Chain A
Amino acid sequence: MGEFDNMNYVIETSHLTKKYGKIIAVDNVSLRIGKEIFGLVGPNGAGKTTLLSLITGLRRATSGSIRVFGLDIRKDDVKIKGHIGVLNEKPGFLDNLPVFSQLLFVARVKGLSRDEAKREVWRCLEKVNMSKWADVNVGKLSAGMKQRVAIAQMIIGEPELLICDEPTSNLDPLGRETFFSILEEFSERGATIVIASHLLFELERICTTVAIMNEGRIVRQVKIDELASIIRKREFEVLSSDKEKMAEVLSSFSWVDNIKVTSRGVKIIVKDVKRMWIELPKAAMKENITITSIIPKKDLLSSLLESIEDEME
C-alpha cells in the first residue's frame, strides 16, 4: 500500500508504562501488531484510550518504548503521523467552522495541494454520506453526524495505519455498516487497523486478533477464532413455548451448569456455548417446544473477563 509495505510489525511496544501520579493507566504493555485488524477490548478504565494515545504520540510514556513503522514515536513523530489516521474517542472540532474547511485543513497539513485536498475531502465525505453537509458548521451537527465527519477525517490521505477508539459510539446501525465497510476496504488494501472498544461483539465481527485489557495490562491476546474457547461459562435465558418442559430438556445436558425457572423463561449457565447452539434447537424440536429467544444475561466481555479470572485462579 505504501512506503512501509515490507514491515513485519507495524506497531511494536515494549514494556510500556504510563502513570498519572500513583495511578498506573498502562502497566508494562508489550505488543506486536502486524498488518491485520487488531482489536483492543476491555471495560471502561482498562487503559485502552491511554494505550492508543501513547501509540499516536498524544501522550508521553512514563517508561518503555513504541515503534510505529519501525520508527521511534518520540523522534520521528511527524513522519509517522503523515501515514496514520486517527479516530479519537471524543473527536474535537472547531464548532464555528464548516465541515469542509476543517477537513480541508487536515488534508493540507497531510501534504496535499489545495486542489488535491479539495478532491480528497469530497471523496471522504461521500464515503460517509456527509457531502451534503459540507458547508454546515460542525457545531450544528448531531453527535452521530460529527462521528461520521471524524471518520472522514481519519481516512483523509489513505493512511496505512488506522487507529480507532470507540469508533461506533453515537453511530446509528447504517453508520456502523458504512464504518465497517470502510475498514474492510482499507484492510483489503493492506492497511493495519487498531480498534479499541468495550463492545466485544463488534470486534468479533471484523478483527483478526484481539487483546483483552484490564487494569492497564494485556491479560490475553488471542486470534478471533480462539475467543469462544476461552469463555468457559456464560449465562443465558431461554424463552420458549413451555418453560417447565424446557427446564427438563435442559437438565439432561452435561454442558448446562445451573438451571433456574423464572417468570418468563429458564435461566441457565452454559459451560460450552458452541454445543448449546448445536444441541439445544435439535432437542427442542424433538420435544415439540418452540424456542422464541435465547438472551445472553451478561455481555460477552464480562463473561470473557470472568473466564480469564477463573483460569488465573
Chain B
Amino acid sequence: MRKTMLILEREIFSLKRSKILLLLTFIILGFLYGLYLEAENYKDYITGNPDLTLEYQTALFTDAVWIIIFLNIGIGRIMLGIIGATSLAKEFENKTMSTLGCLPIRRESIFLGKFLAIALISLSVTLFYSWGTWVICLFTLGPSPLKLVFSTMFFIFIGCLYFASLSIFCSSLFKSNASAIFLALGLIYLSGFFVYGYPAEVTDWEKWFPEYYLGFLYYHLFMPEYVSASDPSFYLSITVILLIIFILLTVSAVIFKFKDI
C-alpha cells in the first residue's frame, strides 16, 4: 500500500507540474462565475416577486445543477478524459515504464496508484463544484436544499469515475498518448449524447449502452416527479454503472500487467 501511495503522490505531483490541474480549476471557477451571474438575475426577479422566493430558490439550484452536469459532460469530462487517457500511456511513451519496471513495485500497485490519483481528482472536482454552487446560492438567494447538493455530488462523482475508468481503459490499450486521448475523447463524446439526452424517452434507449444507466440515474436524481422514489431501476442503474466501472478497471489492469515494454 505504501508503494501505491508513492505512485499516487508522483502522479498528482506530475499533474500539478503539467498545469492541467490549474487549467481545470480555472475552468471550474469560470463556470462558477457564470453561475453567479445567473443567480444575480434570479435574485432581481425574486426581489420583485417575494411570494415566489422559495420556489425560485429551488428552481435556481436545479438550473445550477444543469450547468454542473453540462460541465461534467463537457469540459470537465474532457479534462478527466485526457488525464485518464495519458495516465498509463505516458509511461510507455516517455519510456518511464522501463524505469518503473526495474523497481521493486508490482504493476498492480502502479495501476491502483494511478486510478486512485484520478479518483481523487474526480472527488475534488465534485466537491469543488457542488459546494461552490451551494455557496453562490447561499449568498445570492439564501440556503438551498441540501438534498439537491448531495444528489448532484453523487451523480457527478459516479459520472467522473465512469469516464475516468473509460479513459484509463483506452490508456491501457496504447503506448502513445495521442492514440489513447483520441480514442478516449471519441468514446466520451459519443457517451455525451446518451447522458445529456436524458429527457428523451429514456426507456426506449438500447440497454446495452452503459450511458443508458447513467442517463437513467440522472433522471431519477433530478426529475423525481416523473419516477417513483421506490423504483428499483434506480438501484439497478447504480449497480450497472459500478459494475461497468469495475469491469473496465479490471480489464485495464490485466492488459497493463501483461503489456510488454
Contact = CB atoms under 8 A, between A and B. Distances in A.
Interface of A: 53, 56-60, 78-79, 81-82, 84, 86, 88, 90-97, 101, 105-106, 108-111, 137, 153
Contacts of B94: 92-95
B3 A106 contact: no
B6 interface: yes
Give the 8 A-B residue pairs with the shortest CB-CB distance, closest first.
A92-B95, A86-B102, A82-B104, A92-B96, A81-B104, A96-B17, A58-B101, A78-B104
B231 interface: no
A111 B2 CA distance: 9
A106 B105 CA distance: 10
A105 B97 CA distance: 14
A109 B14 contact: no
Contacts of A86: 99, 102
Contact of A59 (B3, B10, B103, B260): B260
> Chain B at the A interface: mostly helix, strand, loop or mixed?
helix
B13 interface: yes
- Best-surrounded residue of B10, B101, B102, B106 (most CB of chain A within 10 A): B102
B260 A60 contact: yes
A94 B14 contact: yes
Interface of B: 3, 6, 9-10, 13-14, 17-18, 90-91, 94-99, 101-106, 260-261
Contacts of A111: 104
A49 B105 CA distance: 22
B261 A53 contact: yes
Contacts of B101: 56-58
A150 to B, nearest CB: 8
A59 B260 CA distance: 6
Contacts of A88: 95, 98-99, 102
Contacts of B6: 105, 108-109
Contacts of A93: 94, 96, 99
B103 A110 contact: yes
Contacts of B97: 92
A109 B9 CA distance: 12
